[in-house]
Every structure is written in structure tokens, then in C-alpha cells.
Homo-oligomer: A and B are copies of this chain.
Amino acid sequence: MEERILMAHGSGGKLSHELITRCFVGKLDNPWLSRMDDAAVINNTNHKLAFTTDSYVVTPLFFPGGDIGKLAVCGTVNDLAVSGAEPQYLSLALILEEGLPVADLERIIESIRQASLEANVSIITGDTKVVPHGKADGIFINTSGVGRILPDVNVSGANVKPGDVVIVSGSVGDHGMTIMAQREGLRFEGDIASDCAPLNGLVANMLAVCPQIHCMRDPTRGGVATTLNEIAAQSGVGMIINDDAVPVRPPVRALCEMLGLDPLYIANEGKLLAFAPAEFAGQLLYAMRAHKYGCDAAVIGVVTADNLGQVILRTKLGTSRMLAMLAGDILPRIC
């Protein structure tokens, strides 16, 4: 096999077949992929299904805590999970830049394999395109996902109610600051790592003790602040967030302070926000903290019936200020 990706790997001809058979079907082995038909067949289901898509263009491709492959599985798994669905099937579409080392591709596919195993999802259909050197940036990945909506669960960005507590599943800002440190060559790499992780196990535990959760969402691009604003607008409610209560790991906080950034705007890839009636807060936190991806879960605020569509931040000094949606772009290509 060639050491680098050639244009002919995307031709649909012989080299495409070799690449697909060796690198994808062989590694991500399952009965759907090995049929190599144009579409995979999913058996009858009596559940509602969730359907989602995301493209991944992160740079660098490899970073502490993960790589673009792990991200592509976890990101789509998490979009399904926070929609109240059990993630089941993923598609995998690759856009490869001519000249990409095949060893890099194999390392990424291995990450995809491991992340799919952990998340208990099967990659059942795929596509590979190759573009000339200089027309992409190494590799772009799209994963789309299908999962069955769990019975009696009804979560949506529009369902949040005044009186709900706002819970975050753990420390914020880890992914975005890891990418920034890596890209700028800041010597924090030993201390910080991406939180990239599949959250479907955590979500299953949460829904088991509290099917009344009104909304869950993973605060990726734009961070916690942007996600809270989206939901305040969708549900037509206000929110008060207690800055002190938001968990931030010390090295992430230090790096944010050094660069003048607010961790509330930094991307996460293994965290979720949940909104639920206050009476369930205790048992929800208990269930979350029992899971490895929720051990730092905390209540960070409440939903209010005033200041509709707005998010108010209570600072450590006791003052309050508006927490707006991210306006520009702090750090492009973090996912």
C-alpha cells in the first residue's frame, strides 16, 4: 500500500477499493459495512429516532486527550445522547487531502474504532473523497448518527421552565484551551487535555433516575455561555448563573487568565448542561457524580420567569452582569 493518500484513492476505482477494504471495513468490522452496498439497512424499530450530523475540521488533527477521529465519534454520539436518544448507528464520510500520510489515517481510524466501542455504536455506512494537495487540510470528517429516542423522554431546547436548576456535568473549557495551547505551542500540554468523551452512558444514568429532565445540551462551539443563551431564547426564559459554582480546572483557569479569556466561552467536547425541576437536583447530581464523566457535576444556576431570553451572571464580587452569546470567534476550528 502507498505511504501517502493519492488522488486515485478517491476515484471509486481499484485504489479506492483497496483503501476502503483495508483501512475501513477491516478495522470497523460489522455486518453492515462488509456488505458494501450503497446504504445500510437498519431493522424495524418501534421507537422514535433521532437523526443528527456534524462535520469535524479541528486543527491540529492530534491533541492531548484525543484526535479528530475520537472527536467525530464523541461529538455525534453526544448530540444524540443530549437529545434523549440511545446512539446506535453512525455514518463516516472522509474528505482526504492528497498527500495525507496513510499512517495518520490509520491512527485516526483506530481512534474511531475505540471510541465507537466505548460508545457502543456501529459505523454502518461511509464515503471517501480525495481532493488535491492544498484544497483541504489533512482530513475533514463528517459523522451523522441515528439513535432511538428513549420512551417517556421529551427533552428539547424549548422545554426549559422557570424554577429549573441548571447543572453542568463537570469542568468547563478543557477542550478549547487544550487546542489553543497545542496550536500556539504554549507549554501547558502536560497539564491540560481535551475532555472529549462519549456521554451516552452518563445520560442513560441521568434519565434512569430523572426522566423529567427538560433539556440537555453539550456546550461545544461558543461554550457554556452561548449554549445557555440559545436555550434561554428557545424556551423564552431567563437564567441566573453563579460564576463561583462553575467548575474550572486550575490550569485551564490559569491559561484563560493569561490570555484574557472567559472559560464560559471556551468549547467543551465531553460536558453537558442539563435543566430539570429543582426537586430532582439532588438525585440527579448523585447519579451524575457516580459516573466517571460526571464526577465534578454541579448546580450552576436557576431558570427564572423574568429577564426573558437573557442570561445573568452573578460574579464572585457579588455583582451581576449580562452573559451574552459569543459575538466573534475566539478560536476557529476547535472541532
Contacts and interface: CB of A to CB of B under 8 A. Distances in A.
Of all A-B residue pairs in the complex, the 3 with the closest CB atoms, nearest first, are A12-B221, A13-B326, A12-B222
A284 interface: no
Interface string A4-19: 0001101111111100
A47 B43 CA distance: 8
A217 B38 contact: yes
Interface string A134-147: 11110010101111
Contacts of A147: 39
Contacts of A56: 129
Contact of A144 (B136, B144, B326, B332): B144
Interface in A11-57: 11-17, 35-57
A53 B92 contact: yes
Contact of A134 (B43, B131, B134, B332): B134
A95 interface: yes
A183 to B, nearest CB: 12
Interface string A112-156: 000000000000111101111011110010101111010000001
A91 B144 contact: yes
B127 A55 contact: yes
A129 B57 contact: yes
